[in-house]
Amino acid sequence: MNSHFNLLVRRLRNSLSAILPILAFFLGWIGQSGASHPQEEMPLEESTHSSLDVVVEPATASDAQRIAELQESLEQDKQQLLKLDQELDSPNSEYAIAEREFRDLLTELEKTQESLEVAKQAQNSAEILRLEQEIASLERQKKLAQDRIDLAIEDRKTNRDQRAILRSKIEKDQTALDSLSGTLEEPYGSEESPVKLSPEGSKPSSADSEGKRDQTDSAPSDSNEKEQDNTVSDELTSEEQEDEELAQAAAEADHKEEEAAEAQEETKSIAARLADIQKLVAQEQKELDLARKKVDLATAAQLGLSQELATRQSENADAQDLNDLRSAISQASQRLIQARTEVSEISERLNDRRAEQSSLQSEHIVALHEMERKRQEAIAADEHVDSLRNPFSLKNILQWIIEHGPRLLMIAVGMFLLNRMASFFAYRSVRLVTSSSGRGSKVERENRAKTLVGVFQNAATVAIFIGGTLMMLEEAGANITVLMGGVAVIGLAVAFGAQNLIKDYFYGFVMLLENQYMLNDSVRIGGVSGQVERITLRMTVLRDANGVVHFIPNGTINSVSNETHGWSRAVCDITVNRRENLESIMHALRQVAHELKAAPEFASLMIDDPSEPAIETLNESAVQIKMSVKTLPNRHGAIKQEWLRRIKNKLDEQNLEHFGQHRMTIPNKLAG
């Protein structure tokens, strides 16, 4: 009576423990889904936590109960496994008994059939009828025995499958029990303290600091002591604080990932146990069906034997046959009682399995929600670590601006000031150099100064920009050593590939600096003569007397002959008859020179007074007289034309014979 009462209490407890968590979960889910007001809706994480609070609380509070249930389930499973092993190997098992009875029936049937053959030969009608009835009865018993042995074979196969499932379930339940009781070694190192950034990870400990100070005290210099104290006081920089925060976040993320992995493993373990329970329920149901078939088979055997006994009694059969039938009926009754008992036990065991299945299902739901919660926490921790590691996050950008912004601003301001100073000094220096040269007009000197200032300013701007950019990159954390190596290689390649271009620019800059020629100068460069129309750092443009334009790269210029460098000279050669009065001719030439010098429109073009007439050559028929005067650059042509015109008119007035031989411009000095 007490055992049945305890069994009833245990079933009721298992049923309640299985139903209550599921009911609480669905009530919580309905409560969450029933919130329809928009302002009262909670975020996903809060709602998940709320539903988990409803589901997880009973499981968390019933760890001791779960341990007790697991221990009880393990004990029952071990007893059932032991019973199955004994039944499988026992000579008194249902299969062994059914097999022996089936063989005995076959033997008895063969003997009866042999007796029937003998009776037929003896033509004993009464004996033949009795033996035929007995054979028919044995055939019915054989059919029942065959069905019984088939059921025993199927039951034996079911027991073998059930044994394998029980072994797997016992192993997993034992693992779950060890995990709950704390005797299982944690696979994720949870026994170890989580990785946290200790003060030693970010800065030296106080003991190390004291050691450093002791070493500093042993130094002979007081200045070294001050430097060491300043170093120790400034060790915790902003970067170290950032690294410490990142390390703590990474450690927390690792811890969350370990918890999520543990929850996942626990969920898998519960799912595996639940799968074993489901298999056991299916096997128990199959065994229950087999037991019920055994009941039906035993009932049919008992009924058939009872009918046969009644028939034999009405036929006044032998007492021995009647006793055998009564014995067979008694055995069938025992098998029926045994089969019914087996049905009852299997039904009880099946109910226990279903209760355990329900409990594991609710536990699996709780584990799934717990796994999802921890997974979300691990994801959030990883996202936090990623945000700390992401240089483009708002926090890191603000921190980077606070740390590097002032220095970058100082570098930019310094670049601007240096550029302005370079422009100022370049302009002053070039103006000083060009102002000392009196050649050319004021506009020409200003243009030349602007050209040289632009060259100096561009070079200074490029140098300042490159230097400032490298400083900014270094401040931003870039490795400028590698960058400078690459720039050097690129510069070397450019220097080899564009050396002629660089040569042109360099020669052009030197020509402008030395003021070798200017616009509108008449020059001879190599074999080309003409007037300078354009000057750049790379080339010089000449236009010759025929109007042809020549583009000459500055790097190819080896020598320059400038016919208008500083001033020009108008030279007149007058050839007269040797028989003419030489003094009269020279007097006339002096008058023409003085008149030309006195003319306002030509006086401003002359730099000096005309020279005295001088005999250049003397031959048998003529005398060549030479006169010259300095003029402004490129003004000698106009002076000479007017001068020759006046000489011709003057000599004609005095009836002095002369020849038209004369020579054009001869440069005073060459510029190369």
The answer to whether residue 440 scores a pLDDT higher than 50 is yes
Closest CA relative to residue 608, chosen from 637, 641, 570, 658: 570
For 631, the 3-state DSSP assignment is strand
pLDDT for the residue numbered 623: 87
pLDDT for the residue numbered 33: 43
**What is the rounded average pLDDT of the residues 199-226?**
43
Q: Which residues, in sequence order, are CB contacts of 48 under 8 Å at separation 6+?
A: 369, 372, 373, 376
634: left (phi over 0), alpha (psi -120 to 50) or beta: left
Most confident of 294-308, 424-438, 444-458, 645-659: 294-308
The answer to whether residue 410 scores a pLDDT higher than 90 is yes
Q: State the Cα–Cα distance between residues 351 and 15, nearest whole angstrom.
A: 9
pLDDT in tens, 484-532: 777 788 877 777 777 788 888 888 888 877 778 877 788 899 889 898 8
Q: Quick one: tokens of 403?
A: 């740390």
Proportion of the chain above pLDDT 90, given as a percent: 8
Q: Quick one: tokens of 241?
A: 């604080």
**Entry pTM:** 0.47
When pLDDT is cut at 50, 70 and 90, the band that residue 551 belongs to is very high
The answer to whether residue 247 scores a pLDDT higher than 80 is yes
Q: Enter the CATH code of domain 519-554.
A: 2.30.30.60
Q: Which residues, in sequence order, are CB contacts of 141 under 8 Å at separation 6+?
A: 105, 301, 304, 305, 328
Q: Which of 259-263, 326-330, 396-400, 404-408 has the lowest mean pLDDT?
A: 396-400
Cα dihedral angle (144, 150, 153, 154), rounded to 10 degrees? -120
In the block, which residue shows the tokens 């750092």? 537
Q: Are 534 and 541 in contact (CB under 8 A)?
A: yes
Q: Which of 39-48, 108-117, 240-249 has the lowest mean pLDDT?
A: 39-48
Q: Which of 36-40, 449-453, 607-611 has the lowest mean pLDDT?
A: 36-40
pLDDT for the residue numbered 368: 92
CATH 3.30.365.10 fits 568-659, yes or no: no
When the candidates are 3.40.640.10, 1.10.3720.10, 1.10.287.1260, 3.30.200.210, the CATH number that belongs to 396-497 is: 1.10.287.1260
pLDDT for the residue numbered 218: 43
pLDDT for the residue numbered 228: 47
pLDDT for the residue numbered 309: 82
Q: State the Cα–Cα distance between residues 577 and 600, nearest whole angstrom.
A: 33
Q: What is the mean pLDDT of the chain?
A: 75
The answer to whether residue 187 scores a pLDDT higher than 60 is no
Measured CA distances, 655 to 163, 576, 661 (Å): 156, 11, 18
pLDDT in tens, 612-652: 888 888 888 888 889 999 888 778 888 888 889 888 888 88
The answer to whether residue 50 scores a pLDDT higher than 70 is no
List the strands of the sheet with 568-577, edge to edge: 614-618, 622-631, 568-577, 658-659
What is the 3-state secondary structure of 137-191? HHHHHHHHHHHHHHHHHHHHHHHHHHHHHHHHHHHHHHHHHHHHHCCCCCCCCCC
pLDDT in tens, 340-376: 998 998 899 889 888 888 888 988 999 899 999 999 9
Q: Where are the domains of the chain?
A: 2-188+243-389, 396-497, 519-554, 568-659
Cα dihedral angle (31, 33, 37, 43), rounded to 10 degrees? 100
In the block, which residue shows the tokens 């700390």? 388
The answer to whether residue 231 scores a pLDDT higher than 70 is no
Q: Quick one: tokens of 476?
A: 């931003």
Burial of 646 (0-12, 13-18, 19+ CB in 10 A): middle
pLDDT in tens, 559-605: 888 877 778 888 888 888 888 888 888 888 889 889 888 888 888 88
Q: Are 355 and 76 in contact (CB under 8 A)?
A: no
Q: Which residues, in sequence order, are CB contacts of 28 under 8 Å at separation 6+?
A: 50, 51, 53, 54, 55
Q: Are 18 and 355 in contact (CB under 8 A)?
A: yes
Q: State the Cα–Cα distance between residues 656 and 576, nearest whole angstrom.
A: 8
- Buried-exposed string 122-160: b where 16+ CB fall within 10 A, e elsewhere: eeeeeebebbeebbebbebbbebbebbbebbebbeebbe
When pLDDT is cut at 50, 70 and 90, the band that residue 377 belongs to is very high
pLDDT for the residue numbered 105: 80
For 551, the 3-state DSSP assignment is strand
pLDDT for the residue numbered 219: 43
Name 139's bridge partners.
none
